[in-house]
Structure 1
Amino acid sequence: MRPLVSSPGLASVMDRSMLPFDVMSEIMDHSAPITITSLMETCRLLCDEGPRHLLRDGVTLCKPSVVDSFSLFIFAGKSRLRFTFLHELDIRLSYDMTYLASTVARLLSLLTSPALLIDTLSLRDSEVFISQAADRRPVCF
């Protein structure tokens, strides 16, 4: 019996797989982020499916390294598709980030991206971000 395939054009890939795509997607749906990222490294199919599961519970950005990593991840997707899975964004800045112009620039790129269609945005300690971003505002603001 052939496995049921939920995505078109995957039949040839699934013929060589040990588990059907639907099963792998379900496993990712119940997995921790570290497991999802590990699965994403195994093949293109799971790499394309992973962001849906990684972003399902929203994202909290609280450290410069997390901002940098997330920015690379969200902009790396083909045709900004990863943005469609991001529904909640929580940005928690601290005063020790005031000297990190690159972090502020990455946040501005993220927040001003036309692909960003979030339902909930939380800016905690936003004074830091706003004061740093004031000099970097695009002309349209």
Structure 2
Amino acid sequence: MAAPTPIHKSEEEWRAILSPEQFTILRQKGTEMKGTGEYNKFYEEGIYNCAGCGTPLYKSDTKFDSGCGWPAFFEGLPGAINCSPDPDGRRTEITCAACGGHLGHVFKGEGFKTPTDARHCVNSVSVKFIPANSPASL
């Protein structure tokens, strides 16, 4: 899959299309409270798109129950997610490759029995689920 086309908007344009909580998390690198996210314990078949720009990010078959309190995925769609060290160097931030929206953080080597031994810890507010049988997912 090719890298998504970059999406650039002003802060005012983002504020106009995102809820206040989405803006705080996607644009200001906030975090939703543990265990409160809509998709934390959600396991239907489909695709998780960026809530900011609609770019497909994760397939539902890469989601797993990590017990961390946020949705966990073991990998994103090729080219859809960028990884970069947090300023303190302790964690690795994950962002939408198209719009730069903050998704959460990725952790490796935790011993989960997944194909990548990685956990993308994602804020539910940062993604929008599209069911597999929805015209939007076809």
Fold in common (TM above 0.5): no
Judging by fraction of residues, say which structure has more helix: 1
TM-score of the superposition, structure 1-length normalised?
0.29
Q: Which has the higher strand share?
A: 2
Q: State the TM-score, normalized to the length of structure 2.
A: 0.29
